[in-house]
């Protein structure tokens, strides 16, 4: 059973709630397809406001751990395989927040990060940061 958040901790309450739910997902306590309790129920359990719970659920949705829609209880997502992207010598990768267009195109939540890979010819490949695994290509001379 989740414990109430600790108001004396430095971490904001919504982060404490998100951390606890994340831990339960990663440990397997919450399985893919499981519905989380309602926001009001979670707020009672953690002894925080419903707004705090909603903020925590938004964090978890951005991390692709849950699927959350307004008016519907959040569902634990299946953890998919990550796409492997091999960086070649001289290519550059940065992580930044997705633009509105990128969020629409990639189906991302507000605040979600993307990885922008700039090729040697200046072209950019944009990927969902939570669904990509970067590897180094041939690094020998």
> Tens digit of pLDDT for each residue in 13-67?
999 999 999 999 989 999 999 999 999 999 999 999 999 999 999 999 888 889 8
pLDDT of residue 13: 94
pLDDT digits (tens, 9 = 90+) for 28-38: 999 999 999 99
Tokens of 99: 């633009």
DSSP string, 107-133: TPPTT-EEEEEE-TTS-EEEEEGGGEE
Q: Which residue has the tokens 């070649």?
A: 88
pLDDT of residue 9: 83
Instruction: Indicate the DSSP class of residue 84.
Output: E
Q: Under a CB-based contact definition with an 8 Å cutoff, are residues 35 and 73 in contact?
A: yes
The domains of the chain are located at 13-76, 83-136
Q: Under a CB-based contact definition with an 8 Å cutoff, are residues 55 and 97 in contact?
A: no
Q: Under a CB-based contact definition with an 8 Å cutoff, are residues 2 and 37 in contact?
A: no
- Domain 13-76 CATH assignment equals 1.10.10.10: yes
Q: Which SS3 state, helix, strand or coil, does residue 6 take?
A: coil
- Mean pLDDT (whole number) for 77-86: 80
């Amino acid at each position: 059973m989740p414990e109430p958040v600790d108001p004396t901790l430095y971490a904001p309450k919504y982060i404490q709630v998100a951390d606890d739910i994340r831990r339960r997902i990663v440990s397997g306590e919450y399985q893919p397809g499981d519905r989380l309790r309602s926001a009001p129920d979670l707020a009672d359990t953690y002894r925080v406001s419903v707004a705090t719970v909603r903020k925590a659920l938004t964090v978890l949705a951005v991390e692709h751990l849950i699927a959350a829609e307004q008016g519907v209880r959040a569902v634990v997502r299946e953890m998919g395989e990550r796409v492997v992207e091999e960086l070649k010598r001289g290519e550059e990768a940065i992580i930044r927040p997705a633009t509105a267009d990128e969020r629409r195109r990639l189906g991302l939540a507000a605040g979600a990060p993307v990885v922008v890979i700039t090729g040697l010819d200046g072209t950019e490949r944009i990927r969902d940061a939570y669904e990509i695994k970067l590897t180094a290509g041939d690094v020998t001379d």
